[in-house]
Structure formats: structure tokens, C-alpha cells
Amino acid sequence: MDLRGVEKVDMLEQAGADSLHVGDLSGTDLRFVEARISNVPGTPMTDRQADRVVVDATGTADALMLTGSAGPASGTVTATGAATKITLTSVEGDQDLLTINGLDGDDSLDASGLAPGIIGLTFNE
């Protein structure tokens, strides 16, 4: 996909188990990805299905940071420190999984700003 001149992508994943893979976007103009991952269309409810999100950092050293909080029905998780800021909304902590691939470089991940249990997390340095 040619992302020249595109700075933001908003995604709406509908009800059901979904997968989203955000690759290394350091060579593009894209700076923001926002995805609502557990939405049931037309309602404030979540889908109660396991969603999988994979985020690739860059090929250099990245100092990644995760923040997130839980709401009454779902939560929000934000990843910063790589080329693109990624925000996930409608996150279901007992269902959804975030995998971060550091790729090359001496990568670090600070998840101290992530509320406990908001999302399953795997970090592949």
C-alpha cells in the first residue's frame, strides 16, 4: 500500500475475532493508527471475542512506551516510541492480545503506564 502523504489511519474492526498487523512504518508519512478492535456496530458493547494485534517497531533501537486505562465496558491502549503512534480502543482485557516485535536494535518497553489486566501483552525484543 502506498502511504505517501497519508498521516493517519482510523480502523473499525467489526464484531468477531479480528487480527491486525501494523508493520514497521518508519519509511512512510503515517504517524497515527487508531483501531477500535472489539466494537459491536450501533452499540456501546464489545464483542467478547479474542482480537489479536501485532505491532512491529523499527529496525533501529526503539524506546517503546505503553499506556492504557480501563473503562466501564472496555479500555484504551496507546503505544508510542516507534515511527507511528498506535491507539487501540474497545480493548477487552480478558480477551485481546497485543504482541510487540522490537525487530533489530536494542529495544526497550516501558509498560508501567498500562493498567493491570487491560490487554494480554507479549514483547519480542
Question: pLDDT tens string for the chain (125 positions)?
Answer: 666 788 888 888 877 888 999 999 888 888 999 998 887 777 777 888 899 999 999 989 999 999 999 887 789 999 999 889 999 998 998 999 999 999 888 999 999 999 999 999 999 98
Tally of structural domains, the chain: 1
Measuring CA to CA, which residue among 77, 76, 70, 80 is closest to residue 110? 80
35 in any annotated domain: yes
81 in any annotated domain: yes
40 in any annotated domain: yes
Measuring CA to CA, which residue among 23, 12, 79, 109 is closest to residue 51? 12
pTM for the model stands at: 0.88
Q: Which amino acid is at 125?
A: E
Distance CA 68, CA 115 (A): 6
